[in-house]
Structure 1
Amino acid sequence: MLKTIFNFLVLFAVFSLICFAVFLFYSKNNDLLFFTDPHHLVNTKNKTSLNIEKTTAVPEFHQNRTAMPAASGRPLEPCPDIPPNLQEVLYVEFRTNRTLEDVRQQVGPLLQQGGRYKPANCVAKQKRSPGLFRKHRPSLTTRLGESDPRYGVAIIIPFRNRYDHLSHWLHYLHPILIRQQLDYSVYVINQEGDGVFNRAKLMNIGHTEALKEYDYECFVFSDIDLVPLNDRNLYRCSDKPRHLSVAVDKFNFLLPYNNIFGGVTALSREQFLKVNGFSNTFWGWGGEDDDLYQRIVFRGMSISRPDSVIGRYKMIKHGRDLHNDRNPNNVQKLNETPQTIDRDGLNSLSYTVRKIRKDLLYTFITVDVQTTAGYGRVGGGSGMYSCVSAVVSSVHLYRVSSEQMS
């Protein structure tokens, strides 16, 4: 009897060892997937956290999201040139009363503090590839550079007292940028006080402050009142400075003039440094975008654009901002770009950071742009009245450019 029991126990032990060996073999080959539920994965290296199960409602753009891969140590593949979940033509409306809390509930589970996002299942591409969408849009003539997956995109928004617009912008842009599989952050650069507004200087500040946090290679500068109507208009950089807001509803979806370079633009870090950024001396409304275009041309570059179907935008209607009136000196300054480009820009930037607030939807940086000390002109002219002929010849260009920012 004892011998029978002993034989049974030996057989049971051998069987158990065989089962355990088989279990370990298959667990190793599948990277212990039972320990890496994608909805609870925490990446301690980048301090990211995602727990979709805690959300009460799943927004539409969650539905096609690919699960995060197991923590196998294998490097991620680059994201595809054409993101798979794009919706193309979008319905955009601004009648709905949206709050920032509404937007946090909608997209917050996918974001990190500071309006930060990166794809979980692939490495983001920050440059467009040659012939992207060409097979779908034969009229697209722009040939663009090779993909560069190394760095992220900083979205820079010059801002003051436009909180309703900010809610609309975040409501639409975060889902769009997520579907585009970008590694990005949103920076809202808020001008302190009620002095004369300086849009260009705020964008220089945004570029400088963003680089203190992350090694961004691409910078998208966007007005707060412009929302794209087609998510195939990728917020990536290319081998040329890129004008994204080509066809705005305010202008009947037509390009106001060939050299326009305002609204929403994308420049690589190399391109932005090459032109010394924006001028810091365009106080008030208009002219800074045309000056940037002239800087690009003066440095031997040209711009690229999407076609008028992909590059459509809807503008939020609003009145004129206080302390952002037309500055007649800006007209003459457009004639001085070759003389001022090397000494007016990133290398002459002066400001004071008052406060940095990390919200789930954005990084909000309040700055003193030193309006009193900085208001005026850079260049050799003696002012508007000493250059009447230059003003008359430039006024039409200035008015069209200014309308684009209203």
Structure 2
Amino acid sequence: MPSTWPSSADSVPVALPVPSTPPLAAAPTAPGLMPLPPAPGCLRPPVCGLALPCPPCRPVLTCLLVSRVQRENPGVLLGGRYTPPDCTPAQTVAVIIPFRHREHHLRYWLHYLHPILRRQRLHYGIYVINQHGEDTFNRAKLLNVGFLEALKEDAAYDCFIFSDVDLVPMDDRNLYRCGDQPRHFAIAMDKFGFRLPYAGYFGGVSGLSKTQFLRINGFPNEYWGWGGEDDDIFNRISLTGMKISRPDIRIGRYRMIKHDRDKHNEPNPQRFTKIQNTKLTMKRDGIGSVRYQVLEVSRQPLFTNITVDIGRPPSWLPRG
């Protein structure tokens, strides 16, 4: 990824259909997240809550200009940091995106997610972890890197949202916050017919508190290529006595930007064997063993780009 934000003249054509299902009526505020009351002159701002009512956010885009994304998010600081001006956030949230060669998807994602996160009154930062080179992609290792690098910038981060760059939530009430258990947000994607594909699915968008992430030793580093790492993470959560929490299926709906399988992200032929051995590998393979080199940190107007060298895949995998 270049070290400078692309020209505002750049545009990316993306077209998604409007879902045919009727809008979901505004639900009551989630427990512990009271609507923000008017507080003129208050000496102590109230705790941040979601501003309701919120209709579903329906992703529809024909042509996106970078200048428009910046203009519509005036409160977002350099590096993609945002703090609500009128309340005290309960958490400090780092949103981590594993990335390579998806600039057009990233613009689209930023266009929708910044307004959603601001409406949710989050104190957050967005980190794009860009894998250098053309070797086989390693999503989970990039997420480990994002966890560590975000904490280097701000040790106050206590909630980590891990999101693929091609997924956009359709409802503001799918709150990007951490709870008592690890959270799976993307439970009803359009590509799966707005259904959970299987009970142990933990892919797309998930969230763990700092404590939960360290408890499972982070994510595995040895899943090179597509598939398997999400199931390994699910196993780690189960093996440490935690359970997955999920939103209502009507709220946890996502649109995916359609695309071809990325080059150098072919299916991992070892994924099924590795998933069966999580109990044996999770203590030695994770956040405590991740090795990488930061090549560049670039704070863009709407996100922080961190380009990293995460090493080479095993010799039995095809390389770029």
TM-score range with shorter-chain normalisation?
0.7 to 0.9
Q: Secondary structure at the match of 1:175?
A: helix
Higher relative contact order (CA 8 A, sep 6+): 2
Question: Which residue is equivalent to 2:298?
Answer: 357
Rounded Cα–Cα distance in structure 2 between residues aligned with 1:219 and 1:177: 13
Deviation at 1:98, TM superposition (A): 1.2
Rounded Cα–Cα distance in structure 2 between residues aligned with 1:168 and 1:287: 27
- The alignment covers a number of residue pairs equal to 281
Deviation at 1:68, TM superposition (A): 9.5
Rounded Cα–Cα distance in structure 1 between residues aligned with 2:39 and 2:64: 31
Question: Which residue is equivalent to 2:59?
Answer: 92
Counterpart residue identity of residue 143, structure 2: M
What is the 5 A alignment of 1:265-284?
Answer: 265-284=206-225
Flag the 1:376–1:244 CA change in 2: closer, same or farther, 3 A.
farther
Alignment of 1:169 with 2:169, yes or no, is no
Deviation at 1:194, TM superposition (A): 0.7
Rounded Cα–Cα distance in structure 2 between residues aligned with 1:85 and 1:105: 24
Question: Which residue is equivalent to 1:202?
Answer: 142
Counterpart residue identity of residue 51, structure 2: P
Q: Is the Cα–Cα contact under 8 Å of residues 191 and 202 in structure 1 kept in the other structure? A: yes
TM-score computed with the length of structure 2 as normaliser? 0.84
Counterpart residue identity of residue 313, structure 1: Y
Aligned-CA RMSD value: 1.9
Q: Is the Cα–Cα contact under 8 Å of residues 275 and 296 in structure 1 kept in the other structure? A: yes
Alignment of 1:186 with 2:126, yes or no, is yes
TM-score computed with the length of structure 1 as normaliser? 0.67
Specify which structure has the higher proportion of helix. 1
Q: Is the Cα–Cα contact under 8 Å of residues 261 and 290 in structure 1 kept in the other structure? A: yes
Rounded Cα–Cα distance in structure 1 between residues aligned with 2:112 and 2:158: 24
Question: Which residue is equivalent to 1:20?
Answer: none
Rounded Cα–Cα distance in structure 2 between residues aligned with 1:69 and 1:271: 37
Deviation at 1:358, TM superposition (A): 0.4
Q: Per-residue displacement from partner, 1:35-88 (whole Å, max 9, x unpaired)? A: xxxxxxxxxxxxxxxxxxxxxxxxxxxxxx999966x8x3322123xx125523
Match of 2:166 among 207, 210, 225: 225
Q: Secondary structure at the match of 2:276?
A: coil
Rounded Cα–Cα distance in structure 2 between residues aligned with 1:302 and 1:376: 36
Question: Which residue is equivalent to 2:178?
Answer: 237
Alignment of 1:111 with 2:80, yes or no, is no
Counterpart residue identity of residue 60, structure 2: E
Question: Which residue is equivalent to 2:157?
Answer: 216
Rounded Cα–Cα distance in structure 1 between residues aligned with 2:51 and 2:132: 41
Question: Which residue is equivalent to 1:76?
Answer: 45
Flag the structure with larger Rg: 1
Q: Per-residue displacement from partner, 1:192-219 (whole Å, max 9, x unpaired)? A: 1111000000000000000011110000
Match of 1:125 among 75, 79, 90: 90
- List alignment gaps of at least 5 residues for structure 2: 1-35
Rounded Cα–Cα distance in structure 2 between residues aligned with 1:168 and 1:344: 34
Flag the 1:366–1:66 CA change in 2: closer, same or farther, 3 A.
farther
Q: Is the Cα–Cα contact under 8 Å of residues 248 and 315 in structure 1 kept in the other structure? A: yes
Counterpart residue identity of residue 310, structure 1: I
Counterpart residue identity of residue 301, structure 1: M
Flag the 1:240–1:189 CA change in 2: closer, same or farther, 3 A.
same
Deviation at 1:104, TM superposition (A): 1.1
Rounded Cα–Cα distance in structure 2 between residues aligned with 1:85 and 1:358: 32
Q: Is the Cα–Cα contact under 8 Å of residues 85 and 179 in structure 1 kept in the other structure? A: no
